[in-house]
C-alpha cells in the first residue's frame, strides 16, 4: 500500500488500500442494484453484500447476521447506541469524558437526567471504579466506552469493566479496528471504514444476537441493509481483511516510529507529550507546545510537506479546543496530532522530527522566546 509522502493524518482518514481500490472497481460492475430486489441485478448485489458481511464478521469475531453497513461511522455510533436504549427501558447513557463527539451528540440528542460523564486520568484512561458505580445508578440504560482514544491513542481497559449482567455495553472501535486486538466483551460495536483504508461513506455496526437492539430512527428494523453502497461495503471488507493480515508487522514498525516522534517532541522546551506511552494505538502521537497556536503548527508543517491535525479530532476544521485534552487536564492549545500511514518510512519520520523542531524554534524566536 502506498500513500502520499508526508501525509500524517490517518486518524482522520487512511489512504485507500490497494485491496479496497481493486475490489471497489470490480464491484461497481455488479453491485449497483438494490440488494433487496428479486431480479438478477438485485441478486448480484445481494451476493456481494452477503460476502462483505461474512468477511467483516470473520475479521471482528462476529456472525454475518450481526453485521450491518451504514453510510458513516457516526451513523453507526448513533444507530448502535440509541438502538440499545430504544430496545430497552430507555434511560441514560454512562460514558467516558473522552468519547468521540458522535457519542456525546447522541447523549445530548437523547436528553435524559440519568446521563453520566465519567472522568479520566492524565493519560485519558477512564476511572473503572467510577464507571462501574455510575452504571448501577437508577435510570441507566447503556454504558459507552471506546476501545482506544482517537486523539491521544490511549487504549481503554474495556474488558476490565465491571457491569451488571443485563446492562448493554457499546464500544466505539473506530480508532482501533485494524490497529489492535479488540475488546471481547461488548453488546454493540461501531467502526468507520476510512479509518482502516476502506472507502469513505461506510460505517460498520455489529450487534450481538443476544442483545436487545432496534433501529432507533424511522425505517425497517434489523441490520440487513442500512444504506451504505454495496460496492463500497465490499471494498471496506477487502481492506479490513488485508490490513489485519499485515497488522502485527505494521504495528511493530509504527510503535518504533511513534517512540521516535515522542522522544523528539519531549526534547522540545515547554512541550507536553500526551497519552499513555505504552498502552496505546501504534500509529498515533499527540503533543502540545506552549506559546504556539495549533493553526501555526499545522500551516507551518504543511509548508514543509507534512499534513497533520490540531484541535479536536471531532471538529478539526474549526480548530476548537479538544474536549479530550481538557478532560485530561492537558494543554489544549498548540496541539499537534500525528498519525502514521501504514507505509510511513523511517526517513519520513526523521524529516518530520527535523521539521517540527525547526518550526517550533523559529516561531518562538519570532516572538522573542
If you write DSSP's letter for every residue of 168-199 in order, what string do you get? -EEEE-TTTTTTSPPPS--SEEEEEGGGTTS-
Give the chain's radius of gyration (CA, Å): 21
**Choice between 227 and 289, residue whose per-residue pLDDT is larger:** 289
CATH class of 18-245: alpha beta
292-296 mean pLDDT: 93
Helix residue ranges per DSSP H, 90-127? 101-109
The residue ranges of every structural domain in the chain are: 18-245, 247-366
279-286 mean pLDDT: 98
**Residue 312: its pLDDT value, please?**
54
pLDDT confidence bin for 114, thresholds 50/70/90: confident
pLDDT confidence bin for 88, thresholds 50/70/90: confident
The pLDDT of residue 319 is above 60: no
The pLDDT of residue 316 is above 50: no
Alpha carbons 16 and 3: distance in angstroms, whole number = 8
pLDDT confidence bin for 113, thresholds 50/70/90: confident
pLDDT confidence bin for 90, thresholds 50/70/90: confident
- Dihedral, CA atoms, 20, 13, 146, 239, nearest 10 degrees? 10
- Which pairing describes strands 140-144 and 92-96: parallel, antiparallel, or unpaired? parallel
Q: Which pTM was predicted?
A: 0.94
Alpha carbons 191 and 176: distance in angstroms, whole number = 8
**Residue 367: its pLDDT value, please?**
81
- Which pairing describes strands 188-192 and 203-207: parallel, antiparallel, or unpaired? antiparallel
Residues contacting residue 365 through CB under 8 Å, at least 6 positions apart: none
Burial level of 268, CB count in 10 A (0-12/13-18/19+)? middle
CATH code for the part of the protein at 247-366 = 3.90.1150.10
**Choice between 113 and 84, residue whose per-residue pLDDT is larger:** 84
Q: What is the percentage of the chain residues whose pLDDT exceeds 70?
A: 95
The pLDDT of residue 183 is above 70: yes
pLDDT digits (tens, 9 = 90+) for 255-274: 999 999 999 999 999 999 99
**Residue 314: its pLDDT value, please?**
46
Amino acid at each position: 500500500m502506498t500513500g502520499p509522502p508526508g501525509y500524517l493524518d490517518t486518524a482522520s482518514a487512511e489512504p485507500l488500500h490497494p485491496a479496497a481500490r481493486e475490489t471497489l472497481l470490480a464491484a461497481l460492475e455488479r453491485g449497483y442494484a438494490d440488494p433487496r430486489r428479486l431480479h438478477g441485478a438485485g441478486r448480484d448485489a445481494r451476493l456481494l453484500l452477503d460476502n462483505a458481511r461474512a468477511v467483516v464478521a470473520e475479521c471482528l469475531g462476529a456472525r454475518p447476521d450481526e453485521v450491518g453497513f451504514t453510510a458513516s461511522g457516526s451513523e453507526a455510533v448513533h444507530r448502535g447506541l440509541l438502538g440499545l436504549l430504544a430496545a430497552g427501558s430507555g434511560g441514560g447513557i454512562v460514558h467516558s469524558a473522552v468519547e468521540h463527539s458522535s457519542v456525546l451528540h447522541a447523549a445530548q440528542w437523547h436528553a435524559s437526567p440519568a446521563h453520566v460523564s465519567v472522568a479520566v486520568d492524565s493519560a485519558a484512561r477512564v476511572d473503572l471504579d467510577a464507571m462501574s458505580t455510575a452504571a448501577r445508578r437508577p435510570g441507566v440504560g447503556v454504558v459507552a466506552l471506546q476501545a482506544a482514544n482517537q486523539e491521544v491513542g490511549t487504549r481503554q481497559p474495556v474488558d476490565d469493566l465491571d457491569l451488571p449482567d443485563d446492562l448493554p455495553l457499546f464500544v466505539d472501535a473506530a480508532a482501533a479496528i485494524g490497529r489492535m486486538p479488540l475488546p471481547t466483551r461488548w453488546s454493540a460495536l461501531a467502526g468507520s471504514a476510512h479509518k482502516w483504508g476502506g472507502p469513505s461513506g461506510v460505517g460498520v455496526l455489529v450487534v450481538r444476537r443476544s442483545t436487545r437492539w432496534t433501529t432507533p430512527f424511522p425505517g425497517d428494523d434489523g441490520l440487513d441493509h442500512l444504506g451504505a453502497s454495496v460496492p463500497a461495503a465490499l471494498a471496506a471488507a477487502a481492506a479490513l481483511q488485508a490490513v489485519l493480515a499485515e497488522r502485527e508487522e505494521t504495528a511493530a514498525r509504527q510503535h518504533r516510529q511513534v517512540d521516535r516522534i515522542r522522544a523528539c517532541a519531549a526534547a522540545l522546551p515547554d512541550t507536553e507529550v500526551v497519552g499513555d506511552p505504552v498502552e496505546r494505538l501504534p500509529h498515533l502521537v499527540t503533543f502540545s507546545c506552549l506559546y504556539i497556536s495549533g493553526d501555526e503548527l499545522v500551516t507551518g508543517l504543511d509548508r514543509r510537506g507534512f499534513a497533520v491535525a490540531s484541535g479536536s479530532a471531532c471538529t478539526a476544521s474549526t480548530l476548537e479546543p479538544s474536549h479530550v485534552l481538557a478532560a485530561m487536564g492537558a494543554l489544549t492549545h498548540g496541539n499537534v496530532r500525528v498519525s502514521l500511514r501504514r507505509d510511513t518510512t523511517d526517513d519520513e519520520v526523521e524529516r518530520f522530527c527535523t521539521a517540527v523542531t525547526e518550526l517550533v524554534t523559529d516561531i518562538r524566536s519570532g516572538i522573542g522566546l
